[in-house]
């Protein structure tokens, strides 16, 4: 079964192929008037289940629109309305859903839920974010970097703040796409060693630098994410803000990066917390291209999964 569970679990040549396909899919739609019929019918006759155990704007909308644009149909399921893990095993849910649909995308909490679903499903499963990783986001991010600046190989990416699920997938991508990553944040929020070791094992330089100004020197890309993720306890909010305040991406910090550095954020962003509005809406920012590219990148991921 061709699942898309994580960037480090997917062949690097296949990942490159997906980025190239995504670029071609985007180009084919460029300039198309709204309402014009789509030529791409790769998912005609396919039913896709989109399961959400956490909130989502981009993942939900981009997968839903992407499937429909390719001629398929979607079924959006909310975790709280399902039997998922409430008495019925994940394995049985996987077996049942596989009888109805051709592809499953799931956003969940525990990575074990994703893995159990994938193990027992007889259709491909896509990771739409867990507490540990967010691979679809980083496929869109690599695509976005490359459409603005060319190959990401050998570039310096600086991750600021919390070494969270999105950071983890960036580290996987560093290894698979051949770029370097500097993490700057407080020690207690360092990314898990396993993610750092993966990137290093593939030859990427991964640095941990507590001083944000020093970290950003020479950066080609600066990335921020929320200081409190969906899986973090709300009670940790104040502590996290106190730990992370010094890592806000603002104009002064961006000025330390290369003059043509890009700024990315997977969104949703908390303006004036992890990043200022001046940076989000400023000349370095490509955040809305990133959001758009979720659509194109995930179409390529789905086509790869289904072999269509």
> What secondary structure does DSSP assign to 199-234, as a single string?
HHHTT--EEE-S-HHHHHTT-SEEEE--SS-TTS-G
Say which entry of ligand NVA, ligand CP, none residue 154 contacts (CB below 5 to 8 A, set by partner kind): none
Q: Which of 120, 134, 265, 284 is catalytic?
A: 134
167 noted as active-site residue: no
Cβ proximity of 284 and 161 under 8 Å: no
CA pair distance 127, 256, nearest whole angstrom:
35
Say which entry of ligand CP, ligand NVA, none residue 165 contacts (CB below 5 to 8 A, set by partner kind): ligand NVA
Kindly state whether residue 243 participates in binding ligand NVA, applying the rule CB under 6 A.
Answer: no
**Nearest CA-CA partner of 107 in 134, 144, 146:** 134
Which residue has the closest beta carbon to ligand NVA?
Answer: 229
Say which entry of ligand CP, ligand NVA, none residue 229 contacts (CB below 5 to 8 A, set by partner kind): ligand NVA
Return the ∠ at Cα 128 (arms to 125 and 129), rounded to 5°: 125
Kindly state whether residue 220 participates in binding ligand NVA, applying the rule CB under 6 A.
Answer: no
H-run or E-run covering 194 = helix 193-201
Cβ proximity of 131 and 160 under 8 Å: no
Q: In the stretch 118-137, what mask flags binding to ligand NVA with x, by CB under 6 A? A: -----------x--------
137 noted as active-site residue: yes
231 noted as active-site residue: no
Among positions 39-98, residues that touch ligand NVA (CB under 6 A) are: none
225 noted as active-site residue: yes
Give one word for 136, left, alpha or beta, with left for phi > 0 and alpha for psi -120 to 50. Answer: alpha
Q: Which of 51, 67, 143, 266 binds ligand NVA (CB under 6 A)?
A: 266
Smallest distance, ligand NVA to C-beta of residue 196, A: 18
107 noted as active-site residue: yes
CA pair distance 18, 20, nearest whole angstrom:
5
| Binding residues vs ligand CP (CB under 6 A) | 56-59, 129, 137, 266-268
| Positions in the binding site for ligand NVA (CB under 6 A) | 129, 164-166, 225-226, 229-230, 266
């Amino acid at each position: 079964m061709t699942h898309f569970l994580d960037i480090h679990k997917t062949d690097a040549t296949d990942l490159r192929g997906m980025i190239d396909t995504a670029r071609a899919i985007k180009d084919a739609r460029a300039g198309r008037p709204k309402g014009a019929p789509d030529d791409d019918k790769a998912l005609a006759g396919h039913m896709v289940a989109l399961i959400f155990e956490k909130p989502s704007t981009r993942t939900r909308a981009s997968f839903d629109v992407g499937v429909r644009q390719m001629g398929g149909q979607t079924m959006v399921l909310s975790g709280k309305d399902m039997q998922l893990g409430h008495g019925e095993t994940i394995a049985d849910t996987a077996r049942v859903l596989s009888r109805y649909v051709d592809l499953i995308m799931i956003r969940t909490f525990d990575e074990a839920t994703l893995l159990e679903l994938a193990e027992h499903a007889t259709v491909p499963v896509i990771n739409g974010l867990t507490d540990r990783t967010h691979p679809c986001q980083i496929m869109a991010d690599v695509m976005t970097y490359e459409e603005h600046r060319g190959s990401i190989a050998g570039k310096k990416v600086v991750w600021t703040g919390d070494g969270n699920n999105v950071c983890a997938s960036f580290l996987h991508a560093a290894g698979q796409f051949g770029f370097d990553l500097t993490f700057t944040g407080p020690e207690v929020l360092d990314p898990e060693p396993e993610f750092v070791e993966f990137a290093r094992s593939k030859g990427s330089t991964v640095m941990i630098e507590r001083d944000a100004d020093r970290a950003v020197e020479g950066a080609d890309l600066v990335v921020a994410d929320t200081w409190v993720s969906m899986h973090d306890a709300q009670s940790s909010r104040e502590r996290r803000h106190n730990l992370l305040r010094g890592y806000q991406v603002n104009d002064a910090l961006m000025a330390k990066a290369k003059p043509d550095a890009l700024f990315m954020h997977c969104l949703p962003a908390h303006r004036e917390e992890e990043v200022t509005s001046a940076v989000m809406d400023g000349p370095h920012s490509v955040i809305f291209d990133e959001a758009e590219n979720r659509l194109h990148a995930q179409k390529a991921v789905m086509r790869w999964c289904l072999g269509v």
